[in-house]
Chain A
Amino acid sequence: MKQRVLPSAVAALMLAGAAVLAAGPEQAVTFSADERAAILAHGPWPPPRHPDPSNRVSGNRDAISLGRRLFFDTRLSLDGRQSCATCHDPATAFADGKPRGIGRALVDRNAIALANLGLNRWFGWAGAADSLWAQSIHPIVDVKELGLTAEQLRDRLAAAPAIAAAYTHLFQAAVAHDAAERVLVNAAKALAAFQETIVTGRTPFDDFRDALERSDTRSMAHYPRPAQRGLAIFVGKGNCTACHFGPNFTSGEFEDVGVPHFAEQGRVDAGRHGGIAALRASPFNLLSPYSDNADKAAGVPTRHVEQQHRNWGEFRVPSLRNVARTAPYMHNGSLATLQDVVRHYSELNEERLHGHAGRRLLRPLRLTPQEAADLVAFLETLSGEISFGP
């Protein structure tokens, strides 16, 4: 039985939209052919989902079950007080609502919301991992997060009979006698199998998008007018689709959007630049023996990704699905609300940006208050029900 979390914001918005329609006709929003094409490119939703070829237990029901158990288990932290769910709480859309994550200590970055992860190519704010299972290793061993060594993890799993039995059943090896690093990888693969099941459902936007595709104006009219106007800004004047495109509203890549990235005075979070270095040095990347993808084809991007000057200060372009539920925003949680995010892009300090080979992708949007409110209204229609297995 899958669990579902109903986003109250969606229900409220739908009521708000209905209220707008009930209040009387507003000027209809019309979309150009280009805008229509851009809107349709944000679907259909949900997209087909595929198992991860680098993880032999991806999609395996027993692995999902073990992964779920581990995800909520505080045995995975050194002092037995934290679990993955401490920072990725289902009650807060698998984020934590804090600017920066707090595990055993304050970390440098915002706890990114976990959903639709099977669509990612790189993982984490800096893309330091090229698979969900490799990404899942990081918080287990990071001293600021869960803080276990591989040996400690093995000992703890071996001491838990139900987990040890599930491990043996799944990986055909006794956890107590498996190599510690192998146990770490296998636990991470089970965690990844579970996290792949965390998906977001259809949204008011998806219904509008599909109605637009059918030219079903009657159904389209159910989509609130402020959201329609905000959508027009999103695909038009705002040029938001330059980075937030496709069904998951993300390029899956990394950009510098002018957010300061000092971790503290005198110490910079290098973002993607450091992420690439960590990825290439990782013993768990897709070129490693731990990848179950026999021909290592999944590791081709890892083999070829190169550090570039522009990567300094680039961070993940996050998906915008459920964005209204995952405040605060940006890699360091420095913007508290969606209104703050829209203001950031509206008043962008473009001189600190260099863009790609001198071509400026971002310019200050200079939105009017009404336009900013409409853009937020649109973003709020990207919330859908979260489900996760098993």
Chain B
Amino acid sequence: MRPMVVAITLLWLLGFGTAAANEPRPIVDAHIHYSDDTWSVVPPPEAIKVLRQAGVKKAFVSSSSDDGTQMLRKVAPDLIVPVLRPYRRRGEIGTWVRDPTIVPHVEARLKVNTYAGIGEFHVFGADADLPVMRRLVELAKERKIFLHAHSDADAVERIFRQDPDARVLWAHSGFDQPDNVRAMLAKHKRLWADLAFRNDYAPSAKLDASWRQLMLDFPDRFMVGTDTPSPERWYYVVEHASFSRKWLADLPADVADNIAFRNAELLAAWALGQ
């Protein structure tokens, strides 16, 4: 046994033991869409291949229609965290919140499939108090799943007024300024923020000082995401993951891991009862 132990130790010292450390940092991409115009040009196996090439260990996927998410989940259940987008097709982004037929659609989907959340939906200001949005908040509460909201701070506040215990993933961190994001995170303990489709926090993949401090102060609240509203943007997922790894390297390793994957994994595990 002893020679083997020595050999293993030597191998480790020679660098084999650091192989894991040299692996690209895993990513959970918290903002992916697989909508109907993507299915034929980036078929499910190709989409899954892209995610794996990017080193994505899980992806929060919501799609117009939800059939896209289900297709991906069928191919790679280990990879796909399904999130139910309320849109049945392209073109409902600006009308859904005033369309009462959205509610039975969402209810029906929730009955037959498993989801970690409802979203990503677009709602702003007082529209978050409209009946359709209120029902989505109720459904999320009933199902113990999160809401992925592309919203301004006002709409997020209204969601929390409807359900103070709601868990909200704030898409794009509301495209808001770091001071406002800080105020929202401080006020709402169950608010997470994804960083998709914005560069201001890390211009040229170098963390901005105010955002860096924000991440250090709220290390368990941020997530990364590419956002793939068009088929072509699927081919940006790999580059986006590289971009994320670059700026994440400017943070302490545990904080970087939180933002890269752990925060999203924990939210998904809570929602999926794991």
Contact = CB atoms under 8 A, between A and B. Distances in A.
A258 B91 CA distance: 13
B231 A349 contact: no
Given A312-B233, A313-B232, A350 B93 contact: yes
Interface stretch (B18-26, B110-118, B153-161, B198-206): B198-206
A30 interface: no
B232 A262 contact: yes
Contacts of A354: 197, 227, 229
Interface string B123-136: 00000000000000
Nearest to A310: B197
B10 interface: no
B273 interface: no
Contacts of A352: 35, 37, 90, 229-230
B90 A312 contact: no
A265 interface: yes
B212 interface: no
Contacts of A260: 230-232
Given A260-B231, A351-B229, A357 B198 contact: yes
A349 B93 CA distance: 10
A158 interface: no
A353 B203 contact: no
B230 A313 contact: yes
B263 interface: no
Contacts of A270: 236
Nearest to B232: A268
Given A260-B231, A313-B233, A349 B175 contact: no
Interface centre among A265, A310, A352, A353 (most CB of B within 10 A): A352
A313 B172 CA distance: 19
B241 to A, nearest CB: 12
B229 A312 contact: no
A358 B150 contact: yes
Nearest to A357: B175
Interface string B38-59: 0001000010000000000000
A2 interface: no
Interface string A269-304: 010010000000000000000000000000000000
A350 B233 CA distance: 15
B199 A309 contact: yes
A269 to B, nearest CB: 8
B227 A306 contact: no
Interface in B165-222: 172, 175, 197-200, 203-204
B41 A312 contact: no
B232 A261 contact: yes
A350 B93 CA distance: 8
B64 interface: yes
A266 interface: yes
A308 interface: yes
Nearest to B243: A309
Interface string B93-111: 1100000000000000000
A351 B199 contact: no
Contacts of A309: 197-199, 226-227, 236, 240
A266 B234 CA distance: 10
A302 B93 CA distance: 37
Interface string A238-282: 000000000000000000001011100110101001000000000
B46 A312 contact: no
Given A258-B230, A352-B229, 11 more contacts: A260-B232, A266-B46, A309-B199, A309-B226, A309-B236, A310-B197, A312-B233, A313-B232, A351-B93, A351-B229, A354-B227
30 contacts: A260-B231, A260-B232, A262-B232, A306-B199, A306-B203, A307-B204, A309-B197, A309-B198, A309-B199, A309-B226, A310-B197, A310-B199, A312-B232, A312-B236, A313-B230, A350-B91, A350-B93, A351-B64, A351-B87, A351-B90, A351-B93, A351-B229, A352-B37, A352-B90, A352-B230, A353-B230, A354-B227, A357-B175, A358-B150, A358-B175
